[in-house]
Structure 1
């Protein structure tokens, strides 16, 4: 038989006295069996799930205050079941993560951040900002990069927010925690010169030249370029379709899945790039199957991070640029678009960023600022004014000479 669910209610009762009724049905206040034993006042309430909670107090005013706080928390949505609040951060993450739809790389990143947290065994009801601050300090002392600390912090904070939504955590203790400053993108970003890119193209192996070109002149990520099929190259429309990427799972297995952030896109590309790709297909990938890999690896899979990494290290050494990363070719492409006057949305779509905010946070320093625009406008005014003066001076000279 199902026990009927109790409605939410609360109240304060006196444990030491009870009310009885005499023969005339008049109320009489008499000592109860608990008189003088334990705390006199008992606050009790039933939560939204029908569970009763009880707490003893020496004074009635304290019991009522406790109940008022509980009621306010229930009304504002910040109420946390005392039993659920005893669940540790680690236990909550273990159960919550099983319900998430994550790709393998996200699973690894989230697991690493959660296990790294120094408060993994702390009950959520006891979790304070000081716990999070101590964890951030420990990562800083361990010489982790500020960007790494920020990534782990954000991953852990997503768990805390989930706990708050599930009402096992009243407030987000990470809300006001200060993180170490990440240096600005322009200080950390390396943009190859056109000369360096040309040299890399020249010294790369014949089967790798098209890969370098795709990263430099279409801005493809490593996994996106490696996952291209011959049918993704539209020579007629001069476009490349980005529909998948290669990822390594657990360091061994090769996985083919959608691009990062769901950034399927069509990229307009220059004819020169198409010529390089066409030569690559004619020499290395002839045939009629549009689903054949542009860069085939062993077995059924295309190249992946390890096979590309080996070829890239060989190429950059031969090209005299051992400090360059393959991802720097993507920066080269983005900087070229910006220098040509492309707006933020155009660059975002070409790069496959999930929002224009990401594009701006990465490349904002490359766009002309107010000073550049002011200088350019003043240059235009100066050129026009001096041109007019020269024309006037020329006309007056000609008049004086009777021409």
Structure 2
């Protein structure tokens, strides 16, 4: 998993059709597409925290639309470490696994998170006017965007957490969905995303004395 300062689309890029249970209205976070020494492999999510997250009907509808437009692609990668195994135990643990990925590249392969960030996420932000467009490449041919850590892919996670808390969802449930072992950490991390939270307390007291 990338360091904290890096973008984190790895889990989204590892989503497969079989992770969605439309009847139970849940999506299972069970893997990520991880890069190890320039090679991709499947691995457990960060902290090895497999979990189930609610799948709202509106999101399920969007997923179905995506499936209608883009058929899932079976992708096979080694598990956890793409380097050649040295022992029978390593060979068993790293054996190839195949999943029907929801998002793949033009060559119908798993996507490198760095490629996604530079060629998909940042261009989308520029198109939406969130960051400045990329006018030209660096001398070495690299695509260099303006620093925009606050607009990284991880911002979607912040948005989800803040909306859940603002709606009054239990911080214990939210911590479980985010993969946090300590609900207190979840509250400390996302409390500042609640600009209207104090208004609910005032409204509650007014209701008691009115």
Please give the TM-score of this superposition, normalised by the length of structure 1. Answer: 0.37
Tell me the SS of whatever aligns to 2:65: helix
Report the CA distance shift for 1:370/1:362 in structure 2 as closer, same or farther (over 3 A).
closer
Aligned equivalent of 1:244: 31
1:359 CA displacement: 0.9
Write the mapping of 1:2-81 to structure 2, written as runs, cut at 5 A: none
Verify: 1:306 aligned to 2:114, yes or no.
Answer: yes
Q: Is the Cα–Cα contact under 8 Å of residues 261 and 353 in structure 1 kept in the other structure?
A: no
Verify: 1:262 aligned to 2:48, yes or no.
Answer: yes
Q: Is the Cα–Cα contact under 8 Å of residues 248 and 255 in structure 1 kept in the other structure?
A: yes
Q: Which stretches in structure 1 are left out of the alignment for 5+ residues? A: 1-103, 110-146, 149-220, 385-403
CA distance in 1: counterparts of 2:58 and 2:198, whole angstroms? 35
Tell me the SS of whatever aligns to 1:292: strand
Report the CA distance shift for 1:375/1:228 in structure 2 as closer, same or farther (over 3 A).
same
After superposition, the CA RMSD in angstroms is: 3.1
Structure in which a larger fraction of residues adopt helix: 1
Q: Is the Cα–Cα contact under 8 Å of residues 166 and 197 in structure 2 kept in the other structure?
A: no
1:328 CA displacement: 0.8
Instruction: Name the larger-Rg structure.
Output: 1
1:350 CA displacement: 1.4
Tell me the SS of whatever aligns to 2:103: coil
Return the match for 2:191 from 353, 364, 387.
364
Greater RCO structure (CA 8 Å; 6+ sep): 2
Please give the TM-score of this superposition, normalised by the length of structure 2. Answer: 0.68
1:364 CA displacement: 2.9
Q: Is the Cα–Cα contact under 8 Å of residues 348 and 359 in structure 1 kept in the other structure?
A: yes
Report the CA distance shift for 1:334/1:370 in structure 2 as closer, same or farther (over 3 A).
closer
Return the match for 2:175 from 337, 342, 348.
348
Tell me the SS of whatever aligns to 1:302: coil
User: CA-to-partner distance for each residue in 1:239-263, whole Å, 9 max, x for gaps?
Assistant: 111100112223x111210011121
Tell me the SS of whatever aligns to 2:192: helix
Q: Which stretches in structure 2 are left out of the alignment for 5+ residues? A: 76-97, 132-147
Return the match for 1:333 from 160, 185, 203.
160
User: CA-to-partner distance for each residue in 1:52-90, whole Å, 9 max, x for gaps?
Assistant: xxxxxxxxxxxxxxxxxxxxxxxxxxxxxxxxxxxxxxx
